[in-house]
């Protein structure tokens, strides 16, 4: 059965401006991969990320480079060695999962032994001045879980402003590598005072050894410091949790292994995302069924999503429909 791979670049406008410590953007550029066989087509989406040396053009080329291997019958297991972890492999891996489900008539959730149920996702507030972040927090104070982008030299005022505006919400803060050894402990103390649940990636990847030597007053989660299963063992002394993203692991196949090993090593688990459409969130929603934190709000940040898309009611994310993926 011959299979054909196609891939395209698509752009989806963001509702407003999405800002983190490294910059801002107004649209999500994604790559959509489609693999067809026997009258069926499976799809996957990835979001190239410059922080990891990825460009849209190069990731598209990497996806298209495996077209001959896919045509020759390469499966999900084989592409783990044919492609490196990252966005390109994610698109191909998820397209293969979707195609397998359609060819066999067996949903991905059933193959995973998962009975999918609605989950609560974090909702992300962009980095801004404290007053603006407080206003955004007040607008979304009804949500049970907020994720607050930080990463400046003075995030104490931002944490206080957001907590005052959203007194009942659980809060994750994400510094995106923006804190320093000089301000880390001050920020940790304020985070504890403000009842912050979790702090993501306070220090730059590769420059985070200090986290093993200080008292972690609030649990700390690795994001930029962890990509795939092989990274986990070396992080046990400095992180309490890990953020698993399909665009980092290179797809659902590796993410499942990473999740199991993270559990075995005693890490808390977040399943996160880049800013993408419902197609990118759908496989992650199955991965996130039983984790500590889900951060799969990508479509909520867009001005326009794919149709059909995922169903959200407030911060409740419902299982993906088969017409979308899986």
The answer to whether the annotation marks 297 as part of a ligand binding site is no
The answer to whether the annotation marks 181 as part of a ligand binding site is no
If you compute the radius of gyration of the chain from its CA atoms, what whole number of angstroms results?
A: 19
Task: Select which of 147, 149, 248, 259 is catalytic.
Answer: 149
Q: Looking at residue 3, what DSSP letter applies?
A: -
Q: Is 245 a catalytic residue?
A: yes
Closest CA to 276 of 8, 6, 12, 9: 12
Task: Select which of 102, 147, 245, 248 is catalytic.
Answer: 245
C-alpha to C-alpha distance for 262 and 233, rounded to whole angstroms: 9
Judge whether 70 and 5 are in contact, CB under 8 Å: yes
C-alpha to C-alpha distance for 250 and 228, rounded to whole angstroms: 8
Q: Is 149 a catalytic residue?
A: yes
Grouping H, G, I as helix, E, B as strand and the rest as coil, residue 114 is: coil
Closest CA to 137 of 108, 168, 113: 168
Helices (H), the chain: 56-65, 67-71, 76-82, 87-104, 108-112, 130-139, 156-165, 184-193, 246-249, 252-265, 278-287
Judge whether 310 and 299 are in contact, CB under 8 Å: yes
The answer to whether the annotation marks 200 as part of a ligand binding site is yes
Element (H, E) at 128: none
Residues flagged as binding site for Mg(2+): 174, 200, 223
Active site residues: 149, 245
């Amino acid at each position: 059965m011959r299979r054909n791979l196609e891939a395209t670049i698509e752009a989806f406008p963001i509702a407003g401006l999405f800002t983190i410590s490294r910059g801002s953007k107004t649209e999500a550029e994604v790559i959509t991969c489609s693999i067809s066989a026997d009258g069926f087509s499976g799809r996957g989406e990835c979001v190239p990320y410059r922080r990891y040396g990825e460009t849209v053009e190069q990731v598209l080329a990497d996806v298209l480079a495996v077209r001959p291997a896919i045509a020759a019958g390469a499966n999900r297991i084989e592409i783990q060695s044919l492609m490196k972890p990252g966005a390109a492999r994610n698109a191909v891996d998820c397209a293969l999962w979707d195609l397998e489900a359609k060819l066999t008539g067996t949903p991905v959730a059933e193959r995973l032994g998962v009975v999918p149920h609605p989950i609560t996702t974090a909702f992300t507030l962009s980095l801004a001045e404290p007053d603006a972040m407080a206003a955004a927090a007040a607008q979304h104070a009804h949500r049970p879980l907020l994720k607050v982008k930080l990463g400046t030299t003075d995030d104490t005022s931002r944490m206080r402003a957001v907590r005052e505006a959203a007194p009942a919400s659980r809060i994750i803060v994400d510094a995106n590598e923006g804190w320093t050894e000089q301000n880390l402990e001050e920020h940790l103390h304020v985070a504890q005072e403000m009842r912050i649940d979790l702090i993501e990636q306070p220090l730059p990847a590769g420059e985070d050894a200090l986290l093993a030597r200080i008292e972690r007053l609030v649990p700390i989660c690795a994001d930029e410091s962890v990509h795939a299963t092989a990274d986990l063992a070396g992080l046990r002394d400095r992180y309490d949790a890990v953020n698993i993203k399909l665009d980092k692991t290179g797809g659902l196949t590796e993410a499942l292994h990473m999740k199991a090993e993270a559990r075995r090593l005693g890490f808390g688990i977040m399943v996160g995302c880049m800013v993408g459409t419902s197609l990118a969130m759908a496989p992650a929603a199955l991965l996130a069924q039983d984790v500590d934190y889900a951060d799969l709000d990508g479509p909520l940040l867009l001005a326009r999503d794919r149709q059909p898309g995922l169903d959200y009611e407030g911060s409740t994310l419902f299982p993906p429909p088969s017409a979308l993926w899986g």
